[in-house]
Structure 1
Amino acid sequence: MRFADPRSCPDCRGVLDGQPACPRCGLDLTSMEARQLWQVLLQADDLLARAGQHRLAPVGQPPAPQPQAPAQPQAPAQPQAPAQPQAPEPRAPQPQASPAADPFVAVPPTWQPYPARGSAPPAEGPPAAAPPRDAGRGWSVGTILLVLGAFGLVAAGIIFVTRSWEDLGLAARTLVLLGVTAVIGALGVWVTRRPLRASAEAVWSVFLALLTLDFFAARHEDLAGIGSLSVAGGWVVWGIVALALSTAIAVWARPHVNTVLIATAVASSVAITIAGIGAGGLGDDWDFAWRAVIALIVTGVLALATRPAKLPPTTLAARAVVAVFFVAAYVAAFVAVIDHPSPDELAGSGHGAPMLLMGAAAVVIAWLVPVVRIPAVALAVLAACALVVVPVADAGTTESTWLVLAVLAVALSAVGTRGVDDWMRGVRLGAVPAVAGIAVVHIALVAELFATMGNSLGAPWEVAGDARLDPGAVADRAAWIVPVVLVALVATAWFVARWPELSAARQALAAAVVALAIGGADAVAALKWPVWAAALSLLVLAAGLVVARLRTRVAAPTVLVAWLALVAASLASASQGVSAATWLLGGLLLVMVALLSTGDQLRHAHAVIGTGLVLGGTAALVDLLDVADGSVPLLVAAVALALMAAAQLAPAFRPVGPTVEIAAAVGLGIALLTPGTSGQVSVRWTIAGVGLIALSFVAAGRRWLVWPGLAALVVAYLGLIVDSGFSFVEAYTLPLGAAGLAAGTFAAVKKPEISTWAVLGPGLALALLPSVPQALAEPTGLRALLLGAAALVVLAIGVRLGWQAPFVAGVTILTLLVLFNIGPYANAAPRVVLIAVVSAVLLAVGITWEDRVRDGRRIVAYVRSMR
């Protein structure tokens, strides 16, 4: 048995699996008390192991032979979790050992490390001391001291040179420079031969840093004749010297430390950088682009000079420095081309030569360094395009710039389809700016197209059909460039879709069709065609896409048809005659696309747009014919009802039937709510009501349309009454009440279980209640007489059929009429007579109270028993 068991909880002895707390009792194993407990248990195991060496034989058994040597501890079996958790047994409290009082107790950072999942459990016996957690990891103390010492020496050298240098003479300065450098160099040789790699890294770093300080201090004091060097020249010379020294040190030290010193690689990259910066500063009166090119040449030559040494870290660092200088020189050359765009400056003054050299350098780098071939070729292509496009854009017109850009986009995209090697990948990458350029040209044309559409929609039906589109929204340019850039866009889309990188979506024909649909709309606006020609051309193009899709020649997206139809409809809105035909044809085309599309979720959107265009075209056409007033919404309502019927009855409309029906219903609502005279509104609503009721009988699943139809008929009737000039309320309510009573009576007979209040209540309210106020105001008039007769008939029907609603309505109205008829006479009689009559009635009621209560209950029960 072991007390210190890393797999068992010290409290409940539950199985642990690397958790910071016991999963059984929740004991925190990372607390200070748990750590002290772990040390106490280790001591107990140690004492028990030592006590086991002095065992006595039990009573009645021979003594056990003493072992000659302690047996090796055997690994216990893998512990298994208990089937049922047991409550921990109470133990007597043990005195806690204080870490300060007992020097043997060392507090570990956490509980004893637990074995990983699947690993073998630790062996029994006294546990061995665990190795330090950070042993072999991170920086050692020696490394830290070396770094601090190297930094201190460099700092001391800087302070000495800046503060104490002026106090020394020339000879003393020379001796100091040579002595300190020699000592550090000798120390570097000694630690390298040991070999002590970390020390060598630190010492050689100090040596190279001191040499740098020595060189620039000697130049400042004009030692050895180097004071005549300019600042840039000194940087170049020292860069070369430092690179040679760093490379030599790395080559000499490699056999001793069996690796390349990182300090020398860093020093080499810094030396190449210093030499490149210095080379770029030699010609103060040169253009920045030329100085950047010279700096690149110097860094490239120095980087190539390190290759024979075969030092991978140095080579990698040198390449990184050359890459940075290459990017800087390329950007400087590109800026020079932009700043001096004229052909005379680029060719005559030489401002384009740096860009030409950078393009050639990119080709050479692509040939020599395969790993950067793709971006290098792309930069070469971009340099060539810049040298062609920039001077043309500066010296020529917009048309010439677009022409050159179109030619480059088509040529480069076509060349990009010729292969899959890195050269062709670089060409395709370099062609992206040209492709983007032709796309930007059409984005500008799209902006002009939307401006033209906005002008047409903002002032509809104001020009003739043969008038040209609004020229103010389109820039003034030559017409011949528009088809050129359109063809360039289509061809570029065709070739780009055939690039190998787009093989997963290699739909070149579809891409060309998309470009044609977008660019065609742009071209129509840019060419400023007449309104009818613009609308007709776009509709013809849309029809062509539909035919191509039907014949499965090309999977043209249906959204392109909607795009062309909407653009045509927007442009055609400038003229009433053109808009009527365009809206009708475009709407029918979109409805046909919605009907013929399979599996396309956009077909519902096409159906909605198409239905709206058909209804709008109908309104424009009827208004164009100069028919009678109010005919436009009437015919639109009729067409909307026809579309609703077709959506329900025609099998071809089944996929988009609900969508067409909803869109047509919206159009019907707009037509019905269009202002007009009472007679026009009545006719409009009558047609709508009759159509909806008829559709409810012939269309399965649309029985509920009878209620909107009836409501439409009610509105039509009200409009007719208003137009007829009737002033009495019964003219409005009595027919509706009669219709409600007829429908309610039919429902009451067909469904006896329904309450009469539900089926007859609305009809009774419409037929009787509107006449009550005026009848009570004139209780002796004709209206009161007719209302009383009607209430009597209703009461008789309720009593005869046992219907509660007519019985209560009849009794209530008759009671009110009787009371209001008696009222004038009661008011005219003397007060004493009225008091006497009321008293007599009360006396009679009191005497026969019990009988009256019994009769009242019978009446209530009778009424309740009614339906």
Structure 2
Amino acid sequence: MWQVTGELHALDARRQWLAQRQHDLLAALRVRRDAPAGTQASVPGRVPVGEAGASVREISAPSARTALLIVGGVLVVVAALVFTVVSWGRLGIGGRAAILLALTACALALPRPLRRRQLTATAEASAAVGLALVLLDAYAAREAGLGGLDLVGPAGYWAVVTTLTALGAGAYGWWQRLRIPLPVAFLTAQLPGLLGTTASGGTAEDYATAMIATAAMDFAALYALAAHTATGPAGFRDRLGGEGAATALVTGARVIGGGWALLGGALAVAHATGASAPAEVMRAWVPLGLLVLLGTALCRGFRTLPFALRCGAEGVAVVALIVAVGAGLRWVVPSGWDVAGYAAPAALVMVWAAVSSVRSGRWAKPAGGGPLAPLPEAAAAAGELAAASVMLLLTGVVVLPELAYALTRPVVPGIKLWLDGHPPRWSWQLATAPLFVLWLVASVLAALAVLRARAVGDGHLDRPANALRNAAALAAVPALLLMPVAVGLPYAWVLAAAAVVTVAVAVDVVRRPGAALVPRLSALAASGALALLWSSADRAAVLAVCGTFAASAAVLAHILAAPTASSAERATARVAGAFAVLALGVEAFASGLTAGLPGHLAAFAVLAVAVLAACAAAAWHRIPGREQVSTAVEGAGYVLATTALALTAPHPDALSVALAVSGVAGLALALRPDRRRAALAGTALLIASSWVRLSLAGITFPEAYTLPVTAAALVIGHRRRTGNPETGSWPAYGAGLSATMLPSLSAAFNDGNWVRPLLLGTAALLVTVGGVRTRLQAPLVVGSGVLVLVGVHELAPAVVQVLGLVPRWVPLAAAGLLLLLLGATYEKRIDEARRLRDTVRSMG
């Protein structure tokens, strides 16, 4: 297989190479065909006629020209820099000025005659060298102290120089119709603001203002460029060097301007939120206000920007506005309400943006089901909604730890109560501000759901509307149930309120099952979970809440499982039925612990509920349309039974009784025609119970007790199989064979004598041979399994001894060779395993 796969890969690679070669040859032939008469077109991979020995050109003439111009220009600038820095002191002031000014004037004057001779690239290089020399002139002038320039601060001096350079480069490039000076002017114009702020000793707010002002200047230049590029004469694009150069300059202005705006906004937001005095907040309002104006202008007045950028600009403006308002409200609202000062304006902006979206038709259902085209007003609404949502989400994250602590406060004393048996002293409190933020979130989600529903219309809600309604329900439940905690009501009143809300929602679901089922079920699940969680801090509360919820869930399952119910109602009925059983199990266990019983004895109450659940499931199964609820109830009973067995596991005497009760229940469950296989589980549980009991009694010869049971079980199984030939070998002989062989196998592993392994191995061999001759699964599987384990037990000491004598690398090498052998014969072994599996399956 590997060799065939390799050959196929090689053929594919060869075919691809031949196809590419064919394509190249066809292209070369077309070139020769279309070449003028008397010329010899070059063929790829072949030396042209008359140019023997000539190498193929790998660089085009324009590329070579550009490389030469770039390298030459860089060398000229470096030479001028070295001259200015190193050799400057050897000349007088007149000579210095004359040389630099002459070089600068020549470099700036050369582009015009060069353009007349169609040497555009050389003209661009000369202009670039001239602009670099201008900056060197400014540096040299200050170093020489011309006109007292050395007395001016470096930041202020270079702020003026970069401003004049940017203006001059822009005018020069526009006048000379050159490409390079315009980007140089744009990049140089990014520096004066920050340099001027540094020269004036500005604060962080001043730097933020300078950055945002620079961004505004960039976007103003961007507006002019985009407007002329889109609607102006073609000569404007020619001045920029074509459509590609104009697009690159516009994109660069967007990126740089957006970066300055975001950086300045982040700096302003950080200082506004961390201000320690109202005066600092007022100073931070200046850059935040500029950011609001810039974002609003870009979104609402700059229609040539893409939709996403306009949304982002409006979002940045909204964030700056919310931060400015929230930072100001911090000094007005009471202590602890800082986060509410940011949440309230965010909520108002969200609602306003949603109303604007509805009015603009952005949320309306499109005719024919197609997508809506983005309207001009939709960009502002989308940006406002996204930014306000992020801000409200951030405020929710800030108050989340306090809310989570309040929601889970009764859990810690509840754990101590049920583990130690003594109720600890604890208090339950919640500040009002986090609850206010949670109420804002719930109210905004509800308002958005209503607005979305009105916009969609037709009485059918789409996915966003349904998601908003469900989210509003989930947020409203804890907001409502935590109000008594914030007010300071006692624990009993808070728990009673949670239980009443849960029961009220359940009653409403029962009375109106088809009206907005999912949001009410979300509220029901949230309130029920909180009530159960909070009740853990008191024993009586657990009993009352679990009993009430179990009864309510049973009624809900019975009503919603009607034959005329919808699929959602039937699913709810299944969940309610399973929850009722689980709640009764918790009620039973809590009752046992409250009565003073230890955990392994209280587990029998849980086991009793599991048995009752099986009986109820059998009764419900006979009712048409209730089969799925019956299955859910039965599954919950299995969960309770497993839990009860786990609770009794540390105490073997209780475990033995629990296994026996579970086994009898399994045999009783097997009386149902559709649960015949439960007899196997019941028998296995009874056998396990007997094993545990024998282990507790300290029996060293379990065969004396298991052989009579095995003989009786085999006789009964044989008579059953004789009377009903369709009976399988497992129901007939599986339990009888396992009743003796498995306990004997366990005893053999703990017995150092050779008699029991010999007798057990002989019996297992006879059972295996009998299974093969009669073609029955149970004797074959049980006998061969026990025989293999007996062999492993007998060989283990010898294997350990041998491994202690051989070098340590031998087992590793043997394992590696074994893996190689298995890999080499993998398919053959699979076929053999499949045949063995089919043979075993074909047995009775």
- TM-score w.r.t. structure 2 length? 0.64
State the partner residue of 2:614: 644
Normalized per residue, the structure richer in helix is 2
The equivalent of 2:540 in structure 1 is 577
CA contact (8 A) 2:396 2:438 kept: no
Q: 2:302 aligns with which of 369, 379, 386?
A: 369
Question: Distance in 2 between the 1:290 and 1:756 partners?
Answer: 89
CA 1:280–1:754: 2 relative to 1, 3 Å: closer
Does the 8 Å contact 1:374/1:426 carry over to 2?
A: yes
The answer as to whether partners of 1:236 and 1:274 remain within 8 angstroms in 2 is yes
Aligned residue among 97, 100, 104 for 1:181: 104
Residue 86 of structure 2 aligns to a residue in which SS?
helix
| Match of residue 567 from structure 2 | 598
Q: CA deviation at 1:382?
A: 2.1
- The alignment partner of 1:195 has SS state of coil
Range that drifts further, 315-324 or 653-662 = 315-324
SS at match of 1:246: helix
Cα distance in 1 for residues equivalent to 2:17 and 2:219: 63
Q: 1:659 to 1:340 in 2, by over 3 A?
A: same
Please say if residues 28 and 43 of structure 2, whose CA atoms lie closer than 8 Å, have aligned partners that are also in contact.
no
Aligned alpha-carbon RMSD (Å): 5.2
**Counterpart-to-counterpart distance in 2, 1:679 and 1:324:** 74
Q: How far apart are 1:236 and its partner, in Å?
A: 3.0
Instruction: Confirm or deny: 8 A CA contact 2:684 2:735 kept in the other structure.
Output: no
Is the 2:316–2:387 contact (alpha carbons within 8 Å) kept by the matching residues of 1?
yes
Structure 2 match to 1:115:
26
2:481–2:498 CA contact under 8 A, matched in 1: yes
Mapped to 2, the partners of 1:234 and 1:383 lie a distance apart of 33
Secondary structure at 2:320 match in 1: helix
Report the counterpart of residue 342 of structure 1 in structure 2.
Answer: 277
Give the match for residue 485 of structure 1: 437
Contact 1:531 1:575 in 2 (8 A): no
User: 1:203–1:379: structure 2 CA closer, same or farther, 3 Å change rule?
Assistant: same
- Change beyond 3 A, Cα 1:114–1:568: farther
Task: Return 733-742 or 317-326, whichever deviates more.
Answer: 733-742
The one-letter code of the counterpart of 2:470 is A
Q: Go from structure 1 to structure 2 and tell me whether the alpha carbon gap of 1:581 and 1:140 turns closer, same or farther (over 3 Å shift).
A: same
1:234 aligns with 2:157: yes
Q: How many residues are aligned here? A: 654
Report what 1:861 is aligned to: none
Greater radius of gyration (CA) = 1
2 CA distance for matches of 1:678 and 1:249? 97
Q: CA deviation at 1:558?
A: 4.6
Give the equivalent residue in structure 2 for 1:107. Answer: none
What is the rounded CA distance, in whole Å, between the counterparts of 1:330 and 1:121 in structure 2?
Answer: 62
What is the CA-CA distance between 1:503 and the residue it aligns to?
A: 6.9
Q: Could you say if the C-alpha distance between residues 126 and 650 of structure 1 is closer, same or farther in structure 2, counting changes exceeding 3 Å? A: farther
1:333-732 equivalence runs, <5 A: 333-347=268-282, 350-370=283-303, 371=305, 373-393=310-330, 397=334, 399-420=336-357, 421=377, 422-441=379-398, 443-449=400-406, 451-461=408-418, 470-471=426-427, 477-478=430-431, 480-481=432-433, 484-497=436-449, 498=451, 504-507=463-466, 508-520=468-480, 530-546=490-506, 547-548=508-509, 550-556=513-519, 558=521, 561-587=524-550, 589=552, 596=561, 598=567, 610-621=580-591, 624=594, 632-651=602-621, 653-671=626-644, 688-697=662-671, 699-709=672-682
2:172 maps to a residue whose letter is I
What's the CA shift for 1:298?
Answer: 6.8
- Give yes or no for contact 1:295–1:325 (8 Å, CA) kept in 2: yes
Asked if 1:164 is matched to 2:87, the reply is yes
CA contact (8 A) 1:288 1:332 kept: yes
Alpha-carbon contact 2:31-2:41 (below 8 Å) kept: no
Counterpart selection for 1:130 from 42, 57, 81: 42
Q: Does 2:264 correspond to 1:329? A: yes
User: Structure 2 CA distance, aligned partners of 1:756 and 1:334?
Assistant: 78
1:540-587 superposed Cα distances (whole Å, 9 cap, x missing partner) = 444454434723234227565444433322321221111122223334
Deviations 1:811-863 (CA, angstroms, capped at 9, x unpaired): xxxxxxxxxxxxxxxxxxxxxxxxxxxxxxxxxxxxxxxxxxxxxxxxxxxxx
Contact (CA 8 Å) 2:323, 2:342: kept in 1 or not? no
Contact 2:212–2:265 (CA<8 Å) still a contact in 1?
no
- Counterpart CA distance in 2 for 1:192 and 1:367 is 42
CA distance in 2, matches of 1:319, 1:715: 76
Could you tell me which residue of structure 2 aligns to residue 145 of structure 1?
A: 68
Residue 288 (1) aligns with residue 261 (2): no
Distance in 2 separating the partners of 1:654 and 1:279: 81
Letter in 1 for 2:409: T
Distance 1:511 1:301, change over 3 A: closer
Give yes or no for contact 1:587–1:610 (8 Å, CA) kept in 2. Answer: yes
- 1:854-865 equivalences in 2 (<5 Å): none
Q: For the residues of structure 1 that align with 2:312 and 2:165, how far apart are their CA atoms?
A: 31
1 CA distance for matches of 2:600 and 2:41?
104
Contact 1:672 1:684 in 2 (8 A): yes
Do the aligned partners of 1:218 and 1:226 also contact (CA within 8 Å) in 2? yes
| Letter of the 1:198 counterpart | A
Q: Which runs of 5+ in 2 are unaligned?
A: 1-10, 45-55, 229-235, 241-245, 358-376, 744-844
Alignment-mate amino acid for residue 516 of structure 1: A
Could you tell me how far apart the structure 1 residues matched to 2:726 and 2:220 are?
104
How far off is 1:282 after superposition?
Answer: 3.0
Q: Secondary structure at the match of 1:550?
A: coil
Per-residue CA shift, 1:619-662, capped at 9, x if unaligned? 32355567999985444333211211322441465225444323
**SS of residue matched to 1:173:** helix
| Cα distance in 1, alignment partners of residues 214 and 734 from structure 2 | 104
Quick one: percent identity of the two aligned structures?
Answer: 21
Q: Is contact 1:20–1:28 with CA below 8 Å preserved after alignment?
A: no
Distance, in Å, in 2 between the alignment partners of 1:303 and 1:628 is: 76
Partner Cα distance (2:174, 2:487) in 1: 72
The answer for the alignment partner of 1:279 in structure 2 is 196
Q: Deviations over 1:704-743 (max 9, x none)?
A: 3334445666788999999999999999669846853762
1:671 positional shift:
3.8
Unpaired runs of 5+ residues, structure 1, are 1-18, 31-109, 255-260, 771-867
Q: Distance in 1 between matches of 2:258 and 2:544?
A: 64
Cα distance in 2 for residues equivalent to 1:374 and 1:670: 55
Look up the SS of the partner of 1:694 in the other structure.
Answer: helix
Maintained 8 Å contact 2:111/2:123: yes
- Contact in 2 for aligned 1:456/1:570 (Cα 8 Å): no
Going from structure 1 to structure 2, the CA distance change for 1:404 and 1:299 (only over 3 Å counts) comes to closer
Amino acid at match of 1:459: K
C-alpha displacement of 1:434? 3.0
Q: Is the 8 A contact 1:482 1:527 kept in 2?
A: no
Contact 1:279–1:295 under 8 Å retained in 2:
no
Do the aligned residues in 1 keep the contact of 2:413 with 2:424 (CA within 8 Å)? Answer: no
Distance (whole Å) between structure 2 residues aligned to residue 164 and residue 385 of structure 1? 58
Label 1:544 to 1:490 Cα distance change in 2 as closer, same or farther (>3 A): farther
Q: Write the distance in 1 (CA, Å) between the matches of 2:58 and 2:696.
A: 104
Cα 1:221/1:320, change in 2 over 3 Å: farther
Q: CA deviation at 1:202?
A: 0.6
Which digits, 9 at most, give the CA deviation of each residue in 1:99-156, with x for residues without a partner? xxxxxxxxxxx89923379999979999942278878969522221111111111111
Task: Tell me the distance in 2 between the aligned counterparts of 1:743 and 1:302.
Answer: 95
Q: Distance in 2 between matches of 1:428 and 1:684?
A: 60
After superposition, the Cα gap between the structure-2 partners of 1:581 and 1:289, relative to the gap in structure 1 and judged at 3 Å, is same
Match of 1:274, as an amino acid? L
Selected match of 2:166 from 202, 226, 243: 243
In 2, Cα distance between equivalents of 1:146 and 1:633: 90
Q: Is the 8 A contact 1:456 1:574 kept in 2?
A: yes
